[in-house]
Every structure is written in C-alpha cells, then in structure tokens.
Amino acid sequence: MKKYIGVILAATVLLGCSDTKKQEKLLLDSVISVHDKVMANDESLMKNKMLLDSLVKNVPTVKDSAKVYLKLVDDADSAMSDWMHKFDVENKGKSHKEVIDYLSDQKKKITAIDAQINTAVTQSTKYLSQTKK
C-alpha cells in the first residue's frame, strides 16, 4: 500500500509541475500573440509618423494640428518601445505565482499599448487623409 501511495504522490508532483509550466507557457504565448499583433500595426504607425513629421517641417498652415497627432503617434511608439525593453521573457528564479502574476500584468500592459497604437493609427490616418484634401 505504501508503495502505491509513493507512486501516486510522485506522479502528482510531476503532473503538477508540468501543468504549471504549461500554464506559464500558454500565458506567455498569449502575451507574445498580442505583441505580434501590435508589431503588425507598427508599420502603419511609423508611416504616419514620417508623414506627420514632414507636415510639421514643411507645411506651416497645419504645423500646430500636425504636432498634436505626431505626439499621439510618438507616445504610442514610445510606450511600445519601453514595454519591449522592460519585458523579461525568461522569468528565471521566480515562483510559479510570480511568473503568472508577472505575465498577467504584462498582458494587461501590452493590450493597453495595442489599444493606444490602434487609436494613434486610426486618428492620425484620418487626420492625414483630411489634410491631403
């Protein structure tokens, strides 16, 4: 009987470890998935940034309004850059709870940055299309 309890206990511990690693990997994958989506929008953000910068430098009649949208785009770009530099994908030496808490927090942050970039792209694109007319 004691042999079976030892085997069951060992199996439970091993399965428990793999479940926590699987949970951590799934959460990390979801963070990376949002990151990849954000990076896909980054091209539009950079394109609009260049166009707005050109307007600020070359078209005095729209300089002030273009600066407003340029700041919106710059802020979104800076938020993404800051997040990427601070993000720790390895999480070495942290407990399972610390890893889950960290990744959950990072998912909230990257999701907020995604919304910020979407807003910046949408509003600056609208402004640029109206300015061209």
Q: What is the pLDDT of residues 59-87, one digit of tens each?
A: 999 989 999 999 999 999 999 999 999 99
Residues of the chain with pLDDT under 50: 1-4, 6-15
What is the structure's pLDDT at 133? 58
What is the structure's pLDDT at 64? 92
CA atoms within 13 A on the CB side of 76: 29
Interacting residues of 123 by C-beta distance below 8 A, sequence separation 6+: 69, 72
What is the structure's pLDDT at 18? 60
Interacting residues of 19 by C-beta distance below 8 A, sequence separation 6+: none
